[in-house]
């Protein structure tokens, strides 16, 4: 069952970015984590460790989706990129792209699960509907990080499987419709 659990109320302010309008969201940047306790890390432990970073969404190994940021706020999830053909600031990228972290022990050689691909496909379609961008507007962090090679995630991600699942889920998009109110960002 596809569901999104909003846990933004217990995300520490230290990792919450400033206000953002829904119309400024251009697409999705996909990441994988490297280790366990991703939820605690992204909700504040990263700040305690001196490098505040988070994500808009976290997808656990079983495919459970957590929404980490409060309505109308973005997450710091990307550093400098070259998306526009010039060097873009970290803030610009984090504002423009919704960050999804897929929980994975990258350096241990773990592979993302089928459930994570399914959840990501569903979430992408939902976000594309809510924010009015193409569901194809999804990048891997590695593809945009500047300088090239600075990042290598999402590790072992099966893009072909994800796009196939999106095509399948699109035929059942009505199932996702009533979830959009959880995600829609008003101007609060
Ligand atoms: Zn990343």
Ligand 1 center–CA 174 separation, angstroms: 31
Instruction: Name beta bridge partners: 32.
Output: 102
Distance in Å, CA 61 to ligand 1 centroid: 17
Asked if 97 and 73 touch (Cβ cutoff 8 Å), the reply is: no
User: 71 C-alpha to center of ligand 1: Å?
Assistant: 22
Helices (H) and strands (E) in the chain, counts: 8, 8
pLDDT in tens, 130-171: 999 999 999 999 998 999 899 999 999 999 999 999 988 877
Which pLDDT does position 106 carry in this prediction? 87
Q: How far is CA 11 from CA 45, 83, 99, 101, 107, in A?
A: 10, 28, 15, 15, 26
The Å distance, Cα 154 to ligand 1 centre, comes to 7
CA–centroid distance, 179 to ligand 1, in Å, is 26
The whole-angstrom separation of Cα 187 and Cα 19 is 9
Residue 187 has a pLDDT of 41
CA 153 to ligand 1 center in whole angstroms: 5
How much distance in Å is there from the Cα of 169 to the middle of ligand 1?
25
Q: What is the pLDDT of residue 90?
A: 83
Q: Are 95 and 24 contacting, i.e. CB atoms less than 8 angstroms apart?
A: yes
Q: What is the dihedral of CA 60, 25, 83, 104, to 10 degrees?
A: 0
**Cα(58) to centroid of ligand 1, in Å?**
12
- pLDDT (mean) for 38-58: 94
Domain count, the chain: 1
* 170 torsion bin: left (phi>0), alpha (psi -120 to 50), beta (else): alpha
> How far from 2 is each of 39, 62, 119, 188, CA to CA, in Å?
19, 11, 7, 26
Q: How confident is the model at residue 56 (pLDDT cuts 50, 70, 90)?
A: very high
- Residue ranges with CB less than 5 Å from ion ligand 1: 31, 141, 153
Which pLDDT belongs to residue 123?
94
> 102 is written with which tokens?
């897929």
- For residue 175, pLDDT over 80 is answered with no
For residue 54, the model assigns a pLDDT of 96
Domain range enclosing 40: 4-186
CATH number of the CATH domain containing 67? 3.40.80.10
In percent, the amount of the chain with pLDDT more than 90 equals 70
């Amino acid at each position: 069952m596809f569901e999104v659990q909003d846990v933004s109320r217990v995300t520490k302010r230290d990792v919450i970015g400033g206000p953002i309008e829904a119309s400024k969201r251009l697409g999705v940047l996909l990441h994988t984590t490297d280790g366990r306790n991703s939820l605690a890390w992204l909700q504040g432990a990263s700040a305690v460790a001196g490098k505040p970073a988070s994500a808009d969404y976290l997808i656990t190994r079983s495919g459970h989706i957590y929404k980490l940021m409060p309505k109308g706020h973005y997450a710091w999830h990307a550093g400098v990129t070259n998306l526009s053909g010039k060097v873009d600031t970290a803030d610009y990228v984090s504002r423009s792209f919704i960050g999804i972290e897929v929980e994975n022990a990258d350096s241990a050689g773990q592979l993302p699960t089928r459930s994570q691909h399914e959840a990501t496909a569903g979430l992408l379609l939902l976000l594309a509907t809510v924010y009015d961008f193409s569901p194809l507007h999804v990048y891997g962090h590695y593809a945009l990080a500047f300088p090239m090679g600075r990042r290598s995630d999402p590790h072992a991600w099966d893009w072909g499987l994800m796009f196939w699942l999106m095509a399948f889920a699109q035929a059942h998009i009505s199932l996702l419709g009533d979830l959009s109110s959880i995600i829609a960002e008003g101007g609060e």
